[in-house]
Amino acid sequence: MSFVRLRDRDGDRRGFFRPGCPNVSKRIDASNGFFTGADASSTLSICASDRSDMHSFRTDSQFFRDALERIGKAEDLRPVPSPVPMGPERRETDQIDRKEALSDHRELQPARVIGRLVALNGTQGVISCPLTAGEGDWSVGHLITIVHRASRLVGAVCEVATDDGRWSESASNAARVTIELNGEIIDGPDGAPLFHRGVRSFPSLGALAHRIRSDDLRAVYTFRGQRGVEIGRLSQNEDIPAEIDVGELIRRHFSVLGSTGVGKTTSVSLLLKKSLATRPKLRVIIFDPHNEYTAHFPGLAQIVDSESLELPFWMFKFDELADVVFSSRQPHPDERDALYEVIRIARAKYQAELSSLAGTSAVRRQPIAEGSSVTSDAPTPYRIIDVIAIIEEWLGMLDQRFPRSDLRALRHRLEGLNRDPRYRFMFGRLVVEDDIAKVISRLFRIPTRGLPVTIVRLAGLPNEVTNSVVSVLARLAFEIAFWCSGTYEINVLCEEAHRYISSSSGQAFGPARLAIGRIAKEGRKYGASLGVVTQRPSELDPTVLSQCSTMFAMRLANELDKAIIRAAAGVSASSTIAFLSSIADREAIAFGEAIATPMRMKFADISVRAEDRQAHISGERDSDPIDLKKLSAQLRGEA
């Protein structure tokens, strides 16, 4: 029977066609096959003159027959509306029509089932499914769900292959998809999906696999019971933000690892600015060997370079100063002992002069040589000219305690350092002053005065002194946080960290590794945290790296470096780590305590977003002032 005859008979049955009345045609949307018009449920009427509009529409398809049947049923269940409804009646009719059309659209949506589970072990599963050209549901790295009782197991696709190793463009291809199980989703009492790490029970073979719903995907990467801070977007779905827990990020240390040029500096700057905006007590000190961070902290940072740095030599501990004096060479035992003794005597001499000027009784003063209360590590002032004078005095004695050759070499080295313009930040003062409070106030932002970040440019410093400067500043950061008892919080960011916390035990310099390692192991108890940035994680001290509870792994090509990341990520994220050599710039695999679940994400581009370049700093940062005089006494062990 032709379509026109079918139409006429159907119209006669409903009493809609009258001789002489114009025929009312409903337009057909070729993109989805739905009928559109003012009255979506009115009788379908297509006249013979409209056949040109139906050229591409198949009237013998099952879809069309189902549509006719559905429209007929809807027409039988309701009276024929008046030709021109008016007022509230018209609005009510339109609302009913829209609801019915929406319901029909949902019924016609394709099922979310795309495969069944055919193999399973403790960490991975295999799903059998048909694949067609243009299929994107099984892209490597995407997430899917497997139905199991009242939960939905979440898995990441790590491998896709056809059963016969061939591909057909015209027919469906039988494929096996390997997934890595990450956790499970359970709907809460209010119906909201909640993600749980780990799998409590496993499904049986034949379980249905689904494309993950957007609500489930959002639940996987968000924190339950607390609000995360957005730092970018998921690579799998850019509509879903990538969030972190700033508290866990700062308290338990973090690391950003990646090759040169992948965007480590901009990513780290974004993390620090987000942290500063949410933690009012936080200060940040950045060791910047390439002068890269200044442009990322406009109006937030105190810039310290070789010209403006003031770090007096008497604030160095003995091991730190010895590394500067001996230029990382292994000194003779007598040389090292002579330096230790001469520094101790010079400190005691300066303290005795201060006591004399203050009117202290000579009876209560100990002899300089027996000043046992003065050590070579105490951050108390002394003069370098006194050190040289004491060595000269020793050289004139008949009874020599140290070899003359060692004393002469030590004297020449100290005189050279004192005159070298590159070491002005240590030895450049003509008058020695006890201004430790001023030094720590400027370097460690106490108070901040609106600049909570200190950027120490290491590029202009001599190479032989860089490690010593890092050691002094890292040690002081820990000690200040320790003595402030929770009123002060500082993050020490180590850019190119493998330069001064190397994994090699053969390095001559150890104080920097010890100072940074102490922050990594004990700092979170007192408010001192660590940020590690490096392009060679395999050359980094494994003790320090293991203490970083949150990692952002960017593009890495070296197999040794990838092995370090793979071991840190664990079995549940091993397939995700496989992307490390091919991910894009500013993209990272993030995992750890500050991340809800391991994710592949892309950092926001702060170079084009002005609101990210300028962080919003809380005014509460200086609301709890720190007594610098008391703090200075505590650093010297006098309180």
Question: What domains can you pick out in the chain, each with its CATH number?
Answer: 3-108 (no CATH), 113-220 (2.40.30), 242-312+433-622 (3.40.50.300), 315-430 (no CATH)
Identify the pLDDT of residue 191: 87
Residues of the chain with pLDDT under 70: 1-112, 135-137, 225, 328, 358-374, 505-509, 570-576, 607-624, 639
CA angle 62, 68, 70 (to 5 degrees): 100
Q: How far is CA 414 from the centre of its chain?
A: 45
Tens of pLDDT, residues 53-102: 443 444 444 544 455 455 454 444 444 444 444 454 444 445 445 444 43
Q: For residues 385 and 418, what is the distance between their CA atoms, to the nearest angstrom?
A: 9
CB atoms within 10 A of CB 225: 5
Element counts in the chain: helices (H) and strands (E) = 19, 20
List, in sequence order, the alpha helices (H) in 396-540. 404-419, 424-427, 436-443, 463-484, 511-522
Q: For residues 417 and 427, what is the distance between their CA atoms, to the nearest angstrom?
A: 7
Residue 572 three-state SS? helix
Cis-peptide, bond into residue 447, ω within 30° of zero: yes
Identify the pLDDT of residue 409: 92
Identify the pLDDT of residue 172: 87
Tens of pLDDT, residues 577-586: 777 888 999 9
Q: The tokens of 179 are what? A: 């997934």
Identify the pLDDT of residue 170: 85
